[in-house]
Structure 1
Amino acid sequence: MFHKEGTQSILIGTVITAIVLLLSDKFIDTNWIKMTIQISMFALLIIILQFFRNPKRNFILNENQILAPVDGKVVVIEEVYEGEYLKEKRIQVSIFMSPLNVHVTRYALSGLVKFSKYHPGKFLVAWHPKASEENERTTIVIENKTFGEVLYRQIAGALARRIVNYAKEGEQVKQGEDAGFIKFGSRVDIFLPLGTQINVVLNQKAIGGKTIIATKLNE
């Protein structure tokens, strides 16, 4: 199953591959050159298909849990000051996505979208400390009855040149559903209330919609 954001890229890749295969078969007589070109084109098409894959996952809704919004590796767990919207200290959990990860962004929790804004910016490598504030990004805030307002950011990286965000202010969203897509490697930051029980550790592999990032506030 492939994500709808990949429809154009997959179609173009398939057409180009078919044309190259036909032309190489017709005009190239040296077998090893022909085979090298054809194998390379098939490999490129497979990479495109792999990048836009959207595996079906069954979600169990839970108001007391924050699920991983993306596949990747947990690279940041720290207390920071969030100054764009919340303007208070929060626990930041960041997940880095390599080009090999599934790049679908999923809602980490159900609730009401209170804020959704796109910011143009730089394309620093996604793990750079200033990427969260200086890179091209989107900021989304979801209000949830258990956690209050939770902010997350989709952040472009050195290779990511397009961020797709489906969140619209005023709409109700459901945990686990598609929230957007980030093309070619990036990162997602989640800003949770202080006192939230964090259930992941640094360098842990996270699976979008499956891994429990955090649970309800400590009593």
Structure 2
Amino acid sequence: MNLAPGAWKYAIVPLLAAPFAVIISVTASIVALALAVGVLAFFRDPERSPPPTGVVSPADGTVSVLREEGDRVRLGVFMNVWHVHVVRAPVAASVVDVEHVSGAHRPAFSKDSDRNERVHVRLETDSPNLPAPTEPGHTADADPAEPDDGSADPEKTDVSTGHHSRADVPDSEAEVTLIAGAFARRIHPYVESGDELERGERIGHIAFGSRVDLLFPPSVDLEDVAVEPGDSTTAGETVVLEGDTPGLEVETVGFDRDQSDFDGSAGDDEPDANHEP
């Protein structure tokens, strides 16, 4: 069984403690062993087989968010404790930027989670699985209530949600956001700017779960999305947006980059490590 990087770091202590816990009681030893097995289960990383077409879910879990934000559509997947916590690329794309944003650690299913710590993985894609833009070269329209005097910040963060709001979003841009939760305080991106990703390829994991958001390109409308709140998803396999053109012909998508020396993370005590795959 494949394990996400860092699994043994969490499992080794209870695993080594289990035989010594017998001195206290058999029950204590069993509890320690069960804890170690549970940690390894959290970090399991099975192979996945993307379907021939379509945009795939970036995470295992339950669809908890599906809404329009300006001219973009946001899909949020909540990962519970029993889900696989490895995050995958929804489409074939190039990594434009990986950004760590500090924040709180509220429960991922609460409204306050919009202020949680997160890692944004910004992608550029020309995937045939995405709808063609209605107008070539279309970009998000500026707010008509604000005069375009050149003073507006082309990229800013909505203080009420922590989400990016950009006035010049190209049709080729998508964004996957890994969001920390009350217990999931370690976000581990595997990628950095300039990396080329296949559809369904691993891009990171969140230690002990939480939430993953997919912000579709502007060409995607809400009615294009093939899932709805409450639906279960499987990372790299569940189609969240139907595509008419075959994607990559692969049976499984495994580790396509060397992670043997991986120790990068974004968390409470290492806020600047998110760019080290």
Indicate the residue corresponding to 2:228 in structure 1. 201
3-state secondary structure, aligned to 1:163: strand
3-state secondary structure, aligned to 2:19: helix
Q: Does 1:45 align with 2:32?
A: no
The one-letter amino acid of 1:111's match is: A
Q: Does 1:157 align with 2:144?
A: no
Indicate the residue corresponding to 1:98 in structure 2. 80
TM, length-normalised to structure 2: 0.66
Q: What is the identity percentage for the equivalent residue pairs of Structure 1 and Structure 2?
A: 29
TM, length-normalised to structure 1: 0.83
CA distance in 1, matches of 2:201, 2:68: 28
Indicate the residue corresponding to 1:11 in structure 2. 12
Indicate the residue corresponding to 2:163 in structure 1. none
Indicate the residue corresponding to 1:31 in structure 2. none
3-state secondary structure, aligned to 2:188: strand
Indicate the residue corresponding to 1:119 in structure 2. 101
Indicate the residue corresponding to 1:69 in structure 2. 58
CA distance in 1, matches of 2:225, 2:34: 40
CA distance in 2, matches of 1:142, 1:38: 46
Work out which of the residue numbers 238, 259, 276 in structure 2 matches 1:211: 238
Indicate the residue corresponding to 2:145 in structure 1. none
CA distance in 1, matches of 2:240, 2:207: 23
3-state secondary structure, aligned to 1:4: coil
Give 1:11 shift: 2.6
Within a 5 Å distance, the mapping from 1:125-204 to structure 2 comes to 125-132=107-114, 134-146=115-127, 147=130, 148-192=172-216, 193=218, 194-195=220-221, 197-204=224-231
CA distance in 2, matches of 1:173, 1:13: 36
**Which structure 2 residue ranges, 5 or more long, are not aligned?**
131-171, 245-277
CA distance in 2, matches of 1:153, 1:90: 14
Contact 1:61 1:175 in 2 (8 A): no
Q: Deviations over 1:44-66 (max 9, x none)?
A: 1221121111112233464xx22
Q: Deviations over 1:95-142 (max 9, x none)?
A: 00112211111111111111210011111111223423x210011111
Structure number with the higher helix fraction is: 1
3-state secondary structure, aligned to 1:141: strand
Q: Deviations over 1:75-98 (max 9, x none)?
A: 1111014xxxxxxx2111100011
3-state secondary structure, aligned to 1:164: strand
CA distance in 2, matches of 1:44, 1:195: 44
Give 1:5 shift: 2.5
Give 1:216 shift: 4.6
Relative contact order, CA 8 A, sep 6+: which one is greater? 2
Contact 2:20 2:29 in 1 (8 A): no
Relative to structure 1, is the Cα distance of residues 59 and 7 closer, same or farther in structure 2, using a 3 angstrom cutoff? farther
Contact 1:13 1:48 in 2 (8 A): no
Number of residue pairs matched? Answer: 197
Q: CA RMSD in A?
A: 1.9
Contact 2:11 2:37 in 1 (8 A): no
Q: Does 1:80 align with 2:69?
A: yes
3-state secondary structure, aligned to 2:63: strand
The one-letter amino acid of 1:211's match is: T
